Homo-oligomer: A and B are copies of this chain.
Amino acid sequence: MEAVKSAKDLVTTRDDVVAGFRWQAEEKALRANEFSAVADHFYYKAGKVGEIKGVDDIVADDRLYRFALGACALSAKAAQQLGRETCREIIGSTINFARVAEIEYQAELERRYFLTCGDALGGSMRNAIGQRAQNKLSDYVCQYLSDGQINHHVERNGGGKITEVRWAHRVLVFDRKPKFIGKNIDFILLDAGEYKTSLLEVPHKLLACGELKGGIDPAGADEHWKTARAALDRVRDAFKDRGLQSPALFFVGAAIEQSMAAEIFAQLTNGTLAAAANLHHQGQLAELAKILTNL
C-alpha cells in the first residue's frame, strides 16, 4: 500500500490517543444529564411525606423503581437476570424506608444511584465508541463513492446506524454473521445488487471481509488485534475448508501499537491482508476505500 510504506506508518500517534480520550470525556459529559431526571423524581417524591412508605410505592413508579435498582447497585443486566421478584425483595431489604425522609439518607441513595449509572454510562460509551468508528469508516466509503461520482444508497437501522451501503453491483454490510463462517464479521462486501440474508451463505458472493477495532486504549490494542486476526483467520479457514480462495481481507484499527504494527505490515506484505489502515490516518483510509471499491 502506498500509504503504508512501513510498520511505523500504522502506529497510532500520541496525539490521536489524547484526542480519543478527550472525545470520550466530552461525550460522557454530554450524556451525564440523562440520569438526573430519575434522581430528581426521587427527591420530589421523597420530599412529600408518605409518598414512599415501602417497596410497593417504588415498584409502582417506573422512575422510582429504576432509581431504587441503581441505589441497590443493580445494573439493568443484573436486574434482568435476577427477575422482578428478586429485585423487589432486594430493594425491600436494602432501602431503609424509615429514613427515606432524611436529607442525608436521600443523598446517600443518590450517590449510590449515580455510581450504578456511571457503570451503565461506561457500557453505553463502549458501544458508542465502536459505533463512531464504524460511522467514520462508512462515511469514508460514501465520501469516496461521492468523489468518484458513483451513485450509492445508505440503509440505516432504527438508531440511525449505517447497516448497509449499496452501489453499482456491490453491497457493503456491517456486523453480519455468515453461518458457514460462524463468526460475526465487522464488514463484508457482497457482489450483489441488493442485500439478502441468504447471500451471506454463498461464499463466492463475499468479495471482502474486514475487521474494525475502534477502541483507542493502548492497553487493549494488542488484545483486540489478536481477536481481529483470529476472526480473519477463521474466514480464511472457512474458505479453505471448502477449497475456495479466500476473499480480500482488511483490518482497520484506531489503536495500533508498535509490536502489532509489525505483524500487520508483515501480513500486508505477504498478501494475507489486502489492506490495512489506521482509522485516524486519512491517506490510509482513502487507499483502503479505493481498494475496496475496486474489487
Q: List residues of A (78-96) whose CB comes within 8 Å of B's CBs.
A: 78, 81-83, 86, 90, 94
Closest-by-CB residue of B relative to A223 is: B227
Q: List residues of A (1-38) whose CB comes within 8 Å of B's CBs.
A: 17-18, 21-22, 24-26, 28-29, 32, 35-36
Q: List residues of A (104-130) whose CB comes within 8 Å of B's CBs.
A: 110-112, 114-122
A72 interface contact, C-beta 8 A:
yes
A29 touches B118 (CB 8 A): no
Tell me, in angstroms, the Cα distance from A17 to B17 when the chains sit together: 38
Residues of B within 8 A of A120 (CB): 118
A219 interface contact, C-beta 8 A:
yes
B39 touches A111 (CB 8 A): yes
Residues of B within 8 A of A25 (CB): 72-74, 78, 90
Residues of B within 8 A of A29 (CB): 72-73, 94, 112
Closest-by-CB residue of B relative to A115 is: B118
Which of A32, A82, A115 has the most chain B CB atoms closer than 10 A to its own CB?
A115
The answer to whether A111 and B217 touch (CB under 8 A), given A81-B17, A81-B18, A118-B121, is: no
The answer to whether A32 and B118 touch (CB under 8 A), given A21-B78, A77-B217, is: no
Contact of A112 among B32, B74, B119 (CB under 8 A): B32
Tell me, in angstroms, the Cα distance from A110 to B35 when the chains sit together: 13
A32 CB, min distance to chain B CBs, angstroms: 5
A28 touches B115 (CB 8 A): yes
A218 interface contact, C-beta 8 A:
yes
Closest-by-CB residue of B relative to A116 is: B118
A39 CB, min distance to chain B CBs, angstroms: 7
Q: List residues of A (213-254) whose CB comes within 8 Å of B's CBs.
A: 217-219, 230
**Residue interface bits A280-292, CB-to-B below 8 A is 1, else 0:** 0000000000000
Q: List residues of A (23-82) whose CB comes within 8 Å of B's CBs.
A: 24-26, 28-29, 32, 35-36, 39, 72-74, 77-78, 81-82
Tell me, in angstroms, the Cα distance from A22 to B81 when the chains sit together: 10
Tell me, in angstroms, the Cα distance from A265 to B112 when the chains sit together: 42
A33 CB, min distance to chain B CBs, angstroms: 9
B32 touches A115 (CB 8 A): yes
- Apart from A21-B78, A22-B90, A77-B217: 18 A-B pairs, beta carbons within 8 A: A17-B81, A18-B81, A18-B82, A18-B83, A21-B81, A22-B82, A28-B73, A28-B116, A29-B73, A32-B73, A32-B115, A35-B115, A110-B111, A114-B115, A118-B120, A118-B122, A119-B119, A119-B121
